[in-house]
Amino acid sequence: MSGSITLFDTAEGDLDEIAWRIREVSAIMPQLVMEIIRIINDPRSLAIELQVAVERDPSLAARLLRTANSAAYGLRRRVGTVRDAISYLGYNEVKNLAITASLADVFKTDATVGCYSRKGLWRHLVSVAAASRFVASRCGIRRFEEAYMAGLLHDFGLILMDQFLHKVFNDIVRAVASGRPLCECERQRLGFDHTQLGERVACHWNLPASTMAAIRYHHRADACESDSRPIAQAVEIADFLCSAKQRSAVGIGRVDSPSGSTFAALSIDRQGYTVLWDDLDRELVKADVLMALE
């Protein structure tokens, strides 16, 4: 976030009003990225359409190539063109990289308050993205590749609060540092929490249903009643694991454990959890490589 645009210095304004005003000025998700998402979600689209869209932004194309050639992917031959990157990585991975690159620009300017830092939130988002896809894949979730985007955007509401409700957000972070749950502090101060704000602002972007479900239900996936519940459950578990590994959203590694029914729904028993915990470290190393690419 290159600075903050404080729309509300106080808690005045209901959720609908605040979400509407944020949508009016928000450029967090560039139009080009929305076009890339549209192309990939359209089963009739062609690879050349995606190539042309990426090449419209030279910086995005360059970052895509750097990422494809990074140690995180370990391709056997060097990728030299956007066309080759699409061919090697596939549509969904190009979409994930495009969104990651766009969000990275939002976090170029760091800011801290107490235990919170924007760079720490960015590390959390990329980590949960990688962890969500990892958990979803291990648990045999159909269309598990959607979990990356769901994990990357799950705390979208926190990004919005930091950028557009900055002074109020700072107060919330200070309250969290005293040991109170994040969502409880948000609801007391604002009347809603970051899951509700994130969903309300993102709803007009035509994001995948699984991403919207993760934004809204990543702290209580059992409440999700749509077909996207398994992805939301994978994101909730990934959020918990990453926070326990000191990659938390607001600098405090305490996130409530998902319910037993959430673990059971994904067939994760005590032994399976231990394996996930141990194996996740390798995925987080890859996330760190992606985060370091400028």
pLDDT digits (tens, 9 = 90+) for 228-282: 999 999 999 999 999 999 999 998 867 899 999 999 999 999 999 999 999 999 9
Residue 85: which residues within 8 A CB-CB, separation 6 or more? 64, 65, 68, 79, 94
Higher pLDDT, 2 or 210: 210
Say yes or no to pLDDT of 6 above 60: no
pLDDT digits (tens, 9 = 90+) for 58-87: 888 888 888 888 877 888 889 899 999 888
**pLDDT value, residue 4:** 54
**pLDDT value, residue 263:** 97
List the domains of the chain with CATH numbers: 15-26+110-292 (1.10.3210.10)
**pLDDT value, residue 157:** 95
In angstroms, the CA 234 to CA 130 distance is 11
Closest C-alpha to 66, from 89, 43, 42: 89
First to last CA, the chain: 15
In angstroms, the CA 158 to CA 109 distance is 16
Say yes or no to pLDDT of 2 above 60: no
Beta strands 116-117 and 112-113: pairing type?
Answer: antiparallel
In angstroms, the CA 3 to CA 60 distance is 22
In angstroms, the CA 234 to CA 214 distance is 9
**pLDDT value, residue 89:** 85
Say yes or no to pLDDT of 224 above 70: yes
pLDDT digits (tens, 9 = 90+) for 113-146: 888 999 999 999 999 999 999 999 999 998 899 9
Residue 24 token pair: 């009016």
**pLDDT value, residue 278:** 97
**pLDDT value, residue 48:** 92
**pLDDT value, residue 290:** 77
**pLDDT value, residue 151:** 97
Q: How confident is the model at residue 109 (pLDDT cuts 50, 70, 90)?
A: confident
Residue 184: which residues within 8 A CB-CB, separation 6 or more? none
**% of residues, the chain, pLDDT over 70:** 93
**pLDDT value, residue 8:** 57
Higher pLDDT, 155 or 24: 155
**pLDDT value, residue 92:** 83
**pLDDT value, residue 293:** 61
Looking at residue 14, the DSSP 8-state letter turns out to be -
Residue 25: which residues within 8 A CB-CB, separation 6 or more? 5, 7, 164
Mean pLDDT of the chain: 88
**pLDDT value, residue 21:** 83
Q: Under the phi-then-psi rule, with left for phi > 0, alpha for psi from -120 to 50, and beta for the rest, what region is 277? A: alpha
Beta strands in the chain (DSSP E): 112-113, 116-117
**Residue 90: other Cβ atoms inside 10 A:** 13
Say yes or no to pLDDT of 198 above 90: yes
Residue type, 224: C
Residue type, 115: C
**% of residues, the chain, pLDDT over 90:** 52
3-state secondary structure of 117: strand
Residue 219 token pair: 């702290």
Higher pLDDT, 178 or 259: 259
